[in-house]
Amino acid sequence: MRGFRRALLRWYDKHRRDLPWRKTRDPYRIWLSEIMLQQTRVAAVLEHYRVFLERFPNIGVLAHAQLDDVLAAWSGLGYYRRARMLHACAKEIVEKHGEFPQSSDALRDLPGIGRYTAAAIASISFGEPTAVVDGNVQRVVQRLAGRKVAQAEIWRRAQLLLDPERAGDFNQAMMEVGATVCLPREPKCKVCPVHRWCGAAGKVERRASPGPTHSKAKRQVREEIWCTLDQWDGQIRLVQRPAKASLMAGMWELPQHAEKPRLTASSAAWRTFRHSITVTNYTVHVLRQRSDGMGEWVAIADVSKLPLTGLTRKILRASGII
């Protein structure tokens, strides 16, 4: 076990990616990075992480911010429930605790923080010797075992592997080797720092590449959307989704038509976009025309401060408005 830990940590110290949340032990910044990275690629998070911290540099500022401002800063990351839970959690920490709880058990009592996130914060920020298991760690543990392992057993094995003296670094090393070496389809077994302890070393590489994953196979729903880009005198028409909407509640978007509108001499099909949300692929046609009073006028100078849907942000960026 000691050899495994030394080999993994030596590799991590030399090869880990230069990521901003790895340069701090601040629990607020560690927590923010973990929430942002859920269901989102690292490359997509980097700029959002920087901008969000500029706007909300500490948990007190976040707790006292308006939810709309938080959603606006989150725009483009998707899965907006994460931003709402982030805001609710910040408020609870400030109002009930004054500062971040330091144990994983206490952290799990907070809104939006589950077992993995609690263990990540507690180990990285406070050195608690508790293992984390995300998708990457789960894959590494299963391959080390050389067989499929039940979820409860994966957590137990991860805890046994953990280096208690460098718990935070070890957890990040396990996630890093899973993200960059022990890949799902084509693992780089020859350069893996722990291949000598792996029960599946070399075997995974010889397997045929699997077919489409279940999630990709499901992405078959196609829909067309027609929306209007209505600009006039430094303003633009936008519509706010209802506060109780099931998706992206309270977010702002361009006015949409229930069906393909009749084009007139003054209408212009400006551009078509492709956009995907969960299992639906959208073809989005954007018209430059009057919106027939839908929505409300918003000063273009204020648009970037609003919580915009990802599609709307994409369109407005392409148009040069933001």
Which DSSP string do the residues of 252-321 spell out, in sequence order? EE--EESSPPPP-TT-EEEEEEEEEETTEEEEEEEEES--TT-SEEEEHHHHTTS-B-HHHHHHHHHHT-
Asked whether residue 260 falls in the same domain as residue 136, the answer is no
Active site residue 34: yes
> Is 83 among the domain residues?
yes
Cα–Cα dist 89/101, whole Å: 12
Per-residue model confidence (pLDDT) at position 175: 97
Tokens representing residue 62 in the block: 């976040």
Asked whether residue 147 falls in the same domain as residue 222, the answer is no
Cα–Cα dist 34/104, whole Å: 14
CB 89 within 8 A of CB 114: no
Cα–Cα dist 157/149, whole Å: 10
Cα–Cα dist 247/78, whole Å: 11
Tokens representing residue 190 in the block: 């020859």
How far is the first Cα of the chain from the last one, in angstroms, to the nearest whole number?
53
> Is 281 among the domain residues?
yes
What digits encode the pLDDT tens for the residues 168-205?
999 999 999 999 999 998 999 999 999 999 988 766 65
Q: Flag whether pLDDT at 210 surpasses 60.
A: no
Which is more confident, 28 or 225? 28
| Domain count along the chain | 2
DSSP for 212-243 reads --HHHHH--EEEEEEEE--EETTEEEEEEPPT
Q: Flag whether pLDDT at 308 surpasses 70.
A: yes
CATH number of the domain that residue 92 is part of:
1.10.340.30
Asked whether residue 250 falls in the same domain as residue 179, the answer is no
What confidence tier does 218 reach under pLDDT thresholds 50, 70, 90? low
Tokens representing residue 172 in the block: 């990040």
Asked whether residue 261 falls in the same domain as residue 305, the answer is yes
> Is 212 among the domain residues?
no
What digits encode the pLDDT tens for the residues 135-163?
999 999 999 999 989 999 999 999 999 99
Cα–Cα dist 93/71, whole Å: 19
Q: What sign does the dihedral 320-288-282-301 (CA atoms) show?
A: positive
**Single-letter residue type at 258:** A
Per-residue model confidence (pLDDT) at position 191: 94
225 forms beta bridges with 284
Name 25's Cβ contacts closer than 8 Å, sequence gap at least 6: 124, 125, 168
Q: Flag whether pLDDT at 208 surpasses 50.
A: no
Per-residue model confidence (pLDDT) at position 267: 59
Least confident of 4-8, 55-59, 296-300: 296-300
Cα–Cα dist 115/146, whole Å: 25
Tokens 């989704």 correspond to 241
What digits encode the pLDDT tens for the residues 117-126?
999 999 999 9
What digits encode the pLDDT tens for the residues 246-291?
788 888 999 988 777 776 665 566 788 888 776 778 889 898 888 7
Asked whether residue 13 falls in the same domain as residue 47, the answer is yes
> Is 136 among the domain residues?
yes
Domain edge (last residue) among 206, 230, 260: 206
Per-residue model confidence (pLDDT) at position 78: 82
Asked whether residue 84 falls in the same domain as residue 186, the answer is yes
Q: Give the domain extent around 110.
A: 2-206
Per-residue model confidence (pLDDT) at position 279: 72
Per-residue model confidence (pLDDT) at position 59: 97
What confidence tier does 206 reach under pLDDT thresholds 50, 70, 90? very low
Cα–Cα dist 119/172, whole Å: 11
Q: Mean per-residue pLDDT for 99-126?
A: 96
Per-residue model confidence (pLDDT) at position 220: 63
What digits encode the pLDDT tens for the residues 2-40?
999 999 999 999 999 999 999 999 999 999 999 999 988
CB 116 within 8 A of CB 134: yes
> Is 211 among the domain residues?
no
Least confident of 31-40, 51-60, 201-210: 201-210
Q: Flag whether pLDDT at 44 surpasses 70.
A: yes
Asked whether residue 235 falls in the same domain as residue 200, the answer is no
Per-residue model confidence (pLDDT) at position 257: 82
Among residues 34, 128, 176, 253, the one annotated as catalytic is 34
Least confident of 66-70, 83-87, 101-105, 210-214: 210-214
Q: Mean per-residue pLDDT for 223-248?
A: 88
